[in-house]
Chains A and B, each alone.
Chain A
Amino acid sequence: MSIATEAGRERQTARNGWLLSAPALFILTAGAIGPLLIVLVYSFLTPAEYSGVEWVFSGEAWFRVFWKTDIFDGTVSLNDTHLAIFWRSVKLSVTTTLITFAVGLPTAWFIATRPPDQRSLWLFLITIPFWTNLLIRTFAILEVIRNDGILNSMLLGMGIITEPIQLVFTDTAVLIGMTYVYLPLMVLPLFAAIDRFDMRLLEAGYDLYASRWAVLRRVILPIIRPGIVAGSILVFVPSLGAYVTPRVLGGGNNMMIGNFIELQFGQGRNWPLGSALSMLLLIVVTVALLFYVRAANTDRRDV
């Protein structure tokens, strides 16, 4: 085959590819990607009095993300209210990721080491919560941890506590809720990695007098690393942008960045600040994803 027809064929493949993808890309541009650019533009505008924006350029919103100016003497200081919300978001997301990993690894291992005929059942059991509405699962956990919920009534009934434990509307409640709703997101990629794991390597490790701990740390964890990275990203990214769980379980005083963004478009009436916060969240998530892509590529090179 001549080079010319080879190149021609590739051109045609590319043309067909773009043509066939065009409708999907059009809908995505109109309904998901394009609007992000508008948010970027809005983050550099001036808030209008009631809601919306005035078309006057301003860097004020970005400045206000981190700093504030005293209304009386004009001194600039770090905006501790905002920083507290960022810190809570990061803290809760990282903790959620760590807990889901600690619970998810044994769970994924358990599923992967079941006999093949039982495995798909266990996998199905983890997939149902995965696809069940996040709101429903948050409601379910709310009913358990409410002051007059099952957990408190049981503990009261058994005489372990005399007063209900106030869990709802605390950071702990948000943490419990996020761990609960995002656990399947950790288990599934870990399972995929463990499923490919060659169990003979364990035998080799034990034959060479490795302890259980050494086998876990030196053999299992390095090999299933792609699954660990994927699971952590899948949990960390939605945790950081969580909206429903902190709103239902955290109440108004335990906002995470997602709720704070909503506030700017609602009662806060500061659309540019909300836009700047959205962009900040998007940047952090993108950095996390780039880190993931790099880690995944490094793994491929090693193998």
Chain B
Amino acid sequence: MSDRSFSVARVPGFATIAVTAFVLLYLPILTMVGYSFNASTSVSEWGGFSLQWYRLAWENETVKAATARSLIIASFAAVISTAVATMAALGTTRRGSFRGQTPIYVMINTPLMVPEIVTAVALLILFGVVRQVTGYQGLGYLILAHSAFCIPFAYLPIRARLEGMDLTLETAAADLYATPWATFRRITLPILTPGIMAGAMLAFVISLDDVIITEFVKSAGQDTLPTYMLGALRRQLTPEVNALSTALLALTVMLLTAFFLTTRKRN
């Protein structure tokens, strides 16, 4: 594009609004990160640098248990949703379209469209009945619910990767007498891996972040990190929540950076 069209593309005031938007977007987050290192007990007064809130959070057994629970649920949900999403993507993406494909798309994307609070009360009712009948109180409910709403997030990058894939590679493998399984393992899967990794990472982040569905589905004493934080807010807002938020934020940013690097390699 020539330089001239760039001056045409400049709309007066747009850059100012945009930069202001970026500043306003980051100011609260950065303030929160800053105050998580605050030595003062007050949430709004700066009392010098300190790691005490991190230490406090680290020594808090409830926080530790909630963190462990969050990570366990997110890992299970990421693995399960990515596995089934990969299969679904393989089944729906290539070799032409077929009747019934649209219902499958709609079902896979339902969690993106239904308001979370509606799914949350729906699961509250269903799992309430199941709990009563079976007596099971474990993490299974949360893992099932998280796996379900993570599926579309895992599916989309995998499908995008498959759509960009050259089908002739598989035909070539078949021509060279590779069995369908060998073709899948040696050709399709390696090409698909970045998409699968991206999907799994997104699913992990989405599961880790969930508040509403977890809040309604969890049994007594099954707080995850976000629901613990929401509960902590109801009691009193302490800088400990800042420290937890910052830690969770750091984890998200790390995963996202990894995600960007994986998808970037493709280009």
Contacts and interface: CB of A to CB of B under 8 A. Distances in A.
B196 interface: no
Given A13-B98, A20-B90, A107-B18, A244 B230 contact: yes
A192 interface: no
B164 interface: no
A125 interface: yes
A144 B27 contact: yes
A301 B19 CA distance: 36
Q: Which of A19, A110, A275 has the most CB of B within 10 A?
A: A110
A265 B121 CA distance: 8
B230 A135 contact: yes
Interface stretch (A24-32, A56-64, A66-74, A78-86): A24-32
B125 A106 contact: no
Contacts of B88: 20-21, 23-25
A44 interface: no
A101 to B, nearest CB: 12
Interface string A7-27: 000100110111111011101
Given A25-B108, A148-B42, 13 more contacts: A13-B95, A14-B100, A16-B91, A17-B101, A24-B87, A24-B155, A38-B125, A109-B9, A128-B256, A136-B32, A180-B25, A199-B5, A278-B117
Interface of B: 1, 4-6, 8-15, 17-19, 21-22, 24-29, 31-32, 35, 42-44, 80-81, 83-85, 87-88, 90-92, 95-96, 98-101, 104, 107-108, 110-111, 113-119, 121-126, 128, 144-145, 147-149, 151, 155, 205, 208-209, 211-212, 216, 226, 229-230, 233, 237, 241-242, 245, 248-249, 252-253, 256, 260
Interface of A: 10, 13-14, 16-21, 23-25, 27-36, 38-39, 42, 52, 103-107, 109-111, 113, 122, 124-129, 131-137, 139-144, 146, 148-150, 153, 180, 183-184, 199-200, 202-203, 206, 212, 216, 237-238, 240-241, 243-244, 247-248, 258, 261-262, 265, 271, 274-275, 278-279, 281-282, 285-286, 289
